[in-house]
Amino acid sequence: MIKPHGSDTLMPLYIEDEALRKELEKEAEGLPYIIVNSAAASNAVMLGAGYFTPLKGFMTANDAVSVANNMRTSEGLFWPTPVLNLVQDVSVIDDAKRIALRDPNVEGNPVLAIQDIESIEELTDEQINNITEKVYRTTDPEHIGAATFMSLGKTVLSGPIQVLNYSYFSEEFKGTFKTAGEIRDEIAERGWNTVVGFQTRNPMHRAHEELCKMAKEAVNADGVLIHMLLGKLKKGDIPAPVRDAAIRKMVEVYFPPNSVMVTGYGFDMLYAGPREGVLHAVFRQNCGCTHFIIGRDHAGVGDYYGAFDAQTIFDDEVPADALEIEIFRADHTAYSKKLNKVVMMRDAPDHEKEDFVLLSGTKVRAMLAAGEDLPKEFARPEVAKILMEYYQSIN
């Protein structure tokens, strides 16, 4: 199986040993604490679950700046986005060297992790603007990812962490939330060697389904990992439980047995376009995928990125030896009325726009809310039914 990033073995920071974990939980109750922001909480979950292998905790200010500028830590590890514990106020922990990180997303703010504090540093406004510009390619406050990052605080708490639980993900998404190690184990149990990863924060329409099948065939893969983001999204995005139900129904009806794994991971969406595309590739290498699909406007929002910037970054900025995972580059995929099948637009040069079945997100939402059936060329009826029930429930 493909090696994890930067390591011969996966390096999850979750404390598996139950006796030790109970001991740490008891210790944490007496430690100074910070209720971290949701971004830091999801970073802790990803560190715990092994997706951030080989990181051992939260980055220093110097590492964050280096990663933003060069996609490498100060020690030279390739990494595309800063992994930070940013806080507004550190007075509550005084000069403590070991603190509890409490969860902002679970009632009662239980302890999520314990952090050893190696340094407490202040980012300057110039550094924050530079990091934001390099990672998100904009400092526009209308960009949800950039605005969120710039609102988290200027104080950087760096140091290793011990993760004690997986926040709300393991309970709310039982059967779907998986650690990188659990996915690797399941890939091995299924006897898969070549695995294509597919990232989604949305339900999958007919074009997404066919894209997974095209990629699987093109690289002669044993299976596809459909890996959905389960964390915080922007307003208007479809909730994870609805997406999960829709995707599972599609796989159940339209994919052969033992050809797809449907799983999810506990991370808040960054909407960082190309940089997030590279981060997504790191995640998938760590969970055992050999190939990863990157298509049109991957991890984008609004008009901040070019349609294929998340592909070209692998040519222009990612060193050839940085990752072992291979990128499957997909074009916009849609149903061709001429050919009566889903195709990548680049493979149909004789087509005009009107030769494809294309619906905007706004149009799709309006049709579903009104109880109108989506064209079968665009969405499988079983999937559309689940989405229609959701949209009608919120109107």
pLDDT per position as a tens digit, 280-295: 999 999 999 999 999 9
Q: What is the pLDDT of residue 395?
A: 73
Q: What is the pLDDT of residue 6?
A: 97
- Considering only 32-41, 160-169, 356-365, 383-392, which range has the smallest mean pLDDT? 356-365
Active-site option among 72, 98, 190, 201: 201
Domain boundary pick from 283, 307, 336: 336
Mean of pLDDT values over 225-251: 90
Give the burial string for 224-236 (b: 16+ CB within 10 Å, else e): bbbbbbbbbbeee
Higher pLDDT, 239 or 265: 265
Is 69 inside any structural domain? yes
Please state, in angstroms and as integers, the Cα–Cα distance from residue 287 to each residue in 13, 62, 361, following that order.
15, 28, 31
Q: What is the CATH number of the domain that holds 78?
A: 3.10.400.10
Does residue 201 carry a catalytic annotation?
yes
H or E segment to which residue 335 belongs: strand 333-336
Strands (E), 96-194: 98-102, 111-116, 119-122, 155-163
Same domain, 96 and 240: no
Same domain, 155 and 180: no
Q: What is the pLDDT of residue 361?
A: 81
Q: How many domains does the chain have?
A: 2
Is 5 inside any structural domain? no
How many secondary structure helices (H) and strands (E) does the chain include? Answer: 13, 15
What is the three-class DSSP state of 243?
A: helix
Q: What is the pLDDT of residue 394?
A: 84
Confidence category of residue 120, pLDDT binned at 50, 70, 90: very high
Higher pLDDT, 395 or 16: 16
Q: What is the pLDDT of residue 233?
A: 80
Is 250 inside any structural domain? yes
Same domain, 220 and 79: no
Mean of pLDDT values over 244-270: 96
CB-hemisphere CA count at 13 Å for 146? 20
For residue 226, the enclosing domain spans 176-265+269-336
Same domain, 197 and 134: no
Does residue 165 carry a catalytic annotation?
no
Same domain, 195 and 332: yes
> Above 90 in pLDDT, residue 309?
yes
Is 355 inside any structural domain? no
Mean pLDDT score across all residues of the chain: 95
Is 384 inside any structural domain? no
Same domain, 132 and 205: no
Same domain, 234 and 303: yes
Q: What distance in Å separates the CA atoms of residue 10 and residue 3, rounded to the nearest whole number?
A: 8
- Considering only 48-57, 155-164, 185-194, 334-343, which range has the smallest mean pLDDT? 334-343
H or E segment to which residue 197 belongs: strand 195-200
Query: What does the H/E/C string look like for 26-53?
Result: HHHCCCCEEECCHHHHHHHHHHHCCCCC
Same domain, 159 and 229: no
Q: What is the pLDDT of residue 360?
A: 84
Is 361 inside any structural domain? no
Same domain, 102 and 215: no
Q: What is the CATH number of the domain that holds 316?
A: 3.40.50.620
- CA 82, 83, 87: angle at the middle one, nearest 5? 105
Active-site option among 202, 248, 296, 365: 202
Same domain, 120 and 234: no
The 10s digit of each residue's pLDDT in 70-87 is 999 999 999 999 999 999
Same domain, 163 and 213: no
Q: What is the DSSP letter of 14?
A: B
Is 288 inside any structural domain? yes
Q: What is the pLDDT of residue 238?
A: 86
Residue 323 is encoded by which pair of tokens?
């990752």
Confidence category of residue 261, pLDDT binned at 50, 70, 90: very high
Mean of pLDDT values over 332-345: 93
Domain boundary pick from 284, 313, 336: 336
Cβ contacts of residue 259 below 8 Å, gap of 6+? 216, 223, 224
Please state, in angstroms and as integers, the Cα–Cα distance from residue 222 to each residue in 84, 250, 319, following that order.
36, 19, 28
Same domain, 186 and 277: yes
Is 10 inside any structural domain? no
